[in-house]
Structure 1
Amino acid sequence: MQKALMLENRLFAAMLHSDTKALDTLIADSLIFINHAGQNVTKAQDLEMHSSGLIRIQDITRERFNACEYSGCLIVDTCVSVTGTYDGQNANGRFHHLRTWAVIDGQWQVVGLKSSMG
């Protein structure tokens, strides 16, 4: 559980600072991401939203966290409260994330994410 929490904290910090370099290393090229609106989002699209300023996150507060580790894989179930903007409009909310981390080329990366309004 500690490894999952450490990885999630690194991911949250990168998201808060729109640190696309860190996000690029934390997210797999083959990412499967379905956002809270049911849309498929690629890694390139996710990084572009951060680099362009389309998405800006001011705060992420973890409300619930659970994780299971398997050989070379982590499954994270978390609920977070997010304060931020999307395209200049408030995009605050509570989100439930089911995130899958896997070891790729010796490095932990997000390979899957399903987000829903929580």
Structure 2
Amino acid sequence: MNQPVEDSLVAAEAELQRAQLASDVAALEALLHPDVVYVAPDGAEYDRSQDLESHASGQLRLTSLEQVQGSARQFGSTGATRARIKLAGLAGGAPFEAEMLYTRTWVFDQGRWQVVQAQGTSLPPSA
């Protein structure tokens, strides 16, 4: 398949969230482009190997992930998703709860969507 199916980006975003919650490193490897860069709320940049290692090692373990709001737009073989997410878990062994806004840029390559750029922004807790 050389062209993405309509609404397949929505499914890719959902699969990414499922893989993050499960720390499913194999699924994350398939969903993250080799050159992906994630920009954290503090401006730190993380590459694919750092992201995968955080899940594989248990450094980051999510216990809940709930998408509150989201959107996806496809432009041929590129796309963008935006997801407002409530999440909780352990980071470095310390518990956390957060509400985040994630913006991700995706490319459709070799028959699948992959994230090439992502940014997370911390949001104040919603009432």
TM-score category of the 2 structures, normalised to the smaller one? over 0.9
Does residue 30 (structure 1) correspond to residue 35 (structure 2)? The answer is yes
Structure 1 residue aligned with 2:63: 58
Aligned mate of 1:87, from 76, 88, 92: 92
Partner Cα separation in structure 2 for residue 12 and residue 65 of structure 1: 12
Give the superposition deviation at 1:90. Answer: 1.4
Aligned length: 118
Q: How many percent identity over aligned positions?
A: 25
Q: Which runs of 5+ in 1 are unaligned?
A: none
Cα deviation code 1:55-112 (max 9, x no counterpart): 0001111111112110101111111001111011112100001111111223210111
Larger radius of gyration: 2
Q: Which runs of 5+ in 2 are unaligned?
A: 1-5
Aligned mate of 1:11, from 16, 21, 38: 16
Cα deviation code 1:29-64 (max 9, x no counterpart): 000210122110000000000000000001111111
TM, length-normalised to structure 1: 0.94
Structure 2 residue aligned with 1:72: 77
Cα-Cα RMSD: 1.2
Structure 2 residue aligned with 1:96: 101
Partner Cα separation in structure 1 for residue 9 and residue 41 of structure 2: 22
Partner Cα separation in structure 1 for residue 116 and residue 19 of structure 2: 16
